[in-house]
A and B are shown apart, each in its own frame.
Chain A
């Protein structure tokens, strides 16, 4: 969306940093504060576009994860020595080889609370990813790929725009079934339109491929053979280096050569990518710039993650409230203030202009 938005990479860094911060704590108050922070920023900064609505979907998913975690804790029990029994479920007797697994039985407050803290942490992580999804246009993020990977990026963009078209096709064809006097609901209706939908999608892909070709997709510049060979050598050599380095790092005896080989391989592969970019004569229209605001947004996220990690190391008790014995979690002041740093993007990144109202179509 032109230059009014922020570099999508900045949003991803900010969101992932908040997610990292969430993994450092199980304090429900801190986690709730993290969720509130991300929700506020999303509400303030998200553009009015289809992908921006994915935030609610992620919130629902997070809620489902939390509930599933609670249900499992209640049904399967946990080894926590709880004393506050809420309810006793009928216990299913299991054969002796299934020792250590319990179905039903006592459900204690401690078990549920532990599961809730744990589930909330996972839910917060999911919500942070959802925030990135709704704040940054995925297509624009792909545009920031290096030139050599551009064609792969286009394939992903096309696939992304295809999903909504496919859903529209299914709806249209199910409606057409009704016109033929057949039931338009149920699984059978869906199965019957499957083939026509796939045929239509295939035809559209071919038409799109033709249109893209006619508009110059895949034009290549002439590169001297020397450069081409160097590119291949660098890329292949680099990838081999990465493999060897990873192997070295993971095995016991490779501790000495692992890291240097990995780094050398990475450098060679990146140089190969950069050189490979010469083959495509493409330019970018209004690329997103990594400006001061992007630094601030990414930096605020990183600060939250770093400060919470520090707090977790220095005062683990405050960030991981105990459940045995039962105590009410307290809000540790300094970590809470650190989380609030994550609100910075809402003030430095102005809300994008809202597009003109949708016309009936």
Chain B
């Protein structure tokens, strides 16, 4: 259905081809996953299928891409619109009209389908994607998961034979992601649609893939094979594969179910040692107590397993932040209500919950962007929304969902100089932080040209220049590959060890398992669970990390813990 014949793409101004030696075929009715670290050209390969590369992006495409027998060299994207449906990374930039129903019809109108056919297909698609209740809604009022489903629906209505998706689940909470993936699987199974998709969060999608095309490094030719074959050699892999590699299972398990059936031995091996996990992570303790108190009650041998929980360098007795009976009402919607929260120095808290549950609002309240409707918020002894920005940056810092929002200057050096001036720090402080966090960011680079991971690091350095005791991160792992994520985890652990309190809002259960001491689950603006990470995630099927699911009823959270236990 999709055929790449020795394809290479060189963008204008680049000396090296972005991708080369792409030579594979996707047969009809298969779901092929495009995997690889960031910056290897996954989006370029996807764009070549819909003809947007090179017709829209510019650059030179050598070789030949054919879709359903049509050569993309001679067919522009609009002439491929009836066979290829494309959904990009950001569904919002995909919408042309303003209501769900019109959006679903838009593609068919362009193709000139008969009105009765359009009517029938819109109704079918509304049912297929569970959007019937939203048909008259304005798209701007939908949640992230709903928008993603509308975006997929809008390219489905012309009945394309090929669906191309770029990171369809990265902005979604675990439940919404499963919803979208279930729809995709149904399309592949029932309608024989061919799907090619790129996704960083392999743990979510790998079990749905028939085959994987792996781009191992920039400019390298892709490897094509079954998921098990590819995962054995891939530089990016989900925790379940990591655990399989650790335990030496062959062939590698790809799903939690496969792994559970193999894990009997491993569970037995770990039997005597999981009390660490139970007590260390899941002990029933007073949640309001700072974690270092809990640590002090244990023997030093236990602490070896949890290197992130070192005693803060500057012990203080006061709380970093305190929230009491907080309620926030915005646009007549109750975004938050009845929130009580205490953040102590050195503690890392993960705030999780559905899209739209109020996670970002909670962070924004802590940093003073949103004023509490009732209740009180104090951060470092001050009320954030009444504190002048210049003082506030020394108490609390937020890295927003889109780190780019924080960056104004043309170069990294100028950005750092501005950050020093804003924070009143010594000149060079921010630049030193950047080099320390992630070496290799050039002074004269434009912030827009940095990779996602580099940009996040720069924004983090800008925020950290003022040395705020409380650090907030909103969805920090969106668009990061596993390597960048591991660097971020190491970095945040260090910061926590230095006594920074960290609160992160995230959909990434694996990140929360790696990093957080404590997890807070929000639903409809209320706290529905608050406790040590192991306690909270083990009891929730959608928020449990893969390792927990595999080794249940024992309580392990990450592969790193298992590795250390076996060592």
Contact = CB atoms under 8 A, between A and B. Distances in A.
Whether chain B is bound by chain A comes out as yes
Interface of A: 1-2, 49-50, 139, 154, 157-158, 161, 164, 172-173, 175-184, 192, 195-196, 199, 204, 207-219, 221, 281-287, 353, 355-356, 358-361
Given A216-B81, A355-B137, A360 B88 contact: no
Contacts of B78: 213-219
B347 to A, nearest CB: 22
Contacts of A353: 136
B55 to A, nearest CB: 8
B109 A360 contact: no
B408 A192 contact: yes
B83 to A, nearest CB: 11
A184 B389 CA distance: 8
A180 B394 CA distance: 10
B266 interface: no
Contacts of A207: 88, 90, 93-94
A178 B405 contact: no
Interface string B125-163: 000000001111110111100000000001100100000
Contacts of B118: 283, 285-286
Contacts of A211: 86, 88, 93-94, 96
Interface of B: 50-52, 55-56, 76-82, 84, 86, 88, 90, 93-99, 101-102, 105-115, 118-119, 122, 133-138, 140-143, 154-155, 158, 331, 333-335, 355-358, 364, 367-369, 388-390, 392-393, 397-398, 400, 405-406, 408, 418-419, 422-423, 448, 462-463, 466, 524-525
A285 B109 contact: yes
Nearest to A4: B136
Nearest to A283: B112
A239 B109 CA distance: 30
Contacts of B392: 178, 181
Given A50-B138, A180-B422, A196-B408, A208 B96 contact: yes
A196 B137 CA distance: 30
Interface centre among A178, A181, A353 (most CB of B within 10 A): A181
Q: Point out which of A164, A212, A214, A287 has the most chain B C-beta atoms below 10 A from its C-beta.
A: A214
A287 B105 CA distance: 11
Contacts of A182: 389-390, 422
24 contacts: A139-B97, A172-B405, A175-B369, A176-B405, A178-B368, A180-B422, A183-B388, A192-B408, A204-B93, A211-B94, A213-B56, A214-B77, A216-B158, A219-B78, A221-B112, A282-B109, A285-B108, A285-B109, A355-B138, A356-B137, A359-B143, A360-B358, A361-B141, A361-B356
A219 B56 contact: no
B405 A173 contact: yes
Nearest to B52: A210
Contacts of B142: 359, 361
Given A208-B96, A359-B356, A181 B134 contact: no
A184 B111 CA distance: 47
Nearest to A50: B138
Contacts of B154: 215
A297 B71 CA distance: 53
Contacts of B390: 181-183
Contacts of B52: 210, 213-214
A214 B96 CA distance: 12
A284 B448 CA distance: 40
Contacts of B133: 356
A282 B102 CA distance: 14
A360 B353 CA distance: 13
A360 B97 contact: no
A221 B112 CA distance: 10
> Which of B95, B102, B154, B333 is the most central at the interface, judged by chain A CB atoms within 10 Å of its CB?
B102
Nearest to A143: B102
A272 to B, nearest CB: 21
Given A281-B111, A284-B109, A180 B525 contact: no
B281 to A, nearest CB: 31
Contacts of B106: 215
Nearest to B335: A360
B419 A213 contact: no
Nearest to B115: A283
Contacts of A199: 448
Given A139-B98, A208-B93, A219-B81, 16 more contacts: A2-B136, A181-B422, A199-B448, A207-B93, A208-B94, A208-B96, A210-B56, A213-B55, A213-B56, A215-B96, A284-B115, A285-B102, A355-B136, A355-B137, A359-B356, A360-B358
Contacts of A184: 389
A147 B484 CA distance: 50
A50 B525 CA distance: 25
Contacts of B90: 207
Contacts of A204: 93
Contact of B113 (A212, A283, A356): A283
Most buried by B among A195, A199, A209, A219: A219
B369 A178 contact: yes
A224 B357 CA distance: 57
A180 B406 contact: yes
B119 A285 contact: yes
Contact of B109 (A50, A181, A283, A361): A283
Interface centre among B79, B358, B369, B418 (most CB of A within 10 A): B369
Contact of A181 (B141, B466, B524): B466
Contacts of A177: 389
Nearest to B358: A360
Nearest to B91: A211
Given A181-B393, A183-B389, A214-B86, A283 B96 contact: no
B188 to A, nearest CB: 21
Given A215-B107, A219-B81, A180 B419 contact: yes
A176 B415 CA distance: 14
A214 B81 contact: yes
Nearest to A360: B333
Nearest to B164: A214
A-B interface, 7 closest residue pairs, ranked by CB to CB distance from nearest: A216-B81, A285-B105, A281-B112, A216-B110, A181-B393, A207-B93, A176-B405
Nearest to A203: B93
A2 B355 CA distance: 28
B524 to A, nearest CB: 7
- Of listed A172, A204, A285, A353, residue having the most chain B CB within 10 A: A285
Contact of B406 (A164, A176, A192, A286): A176
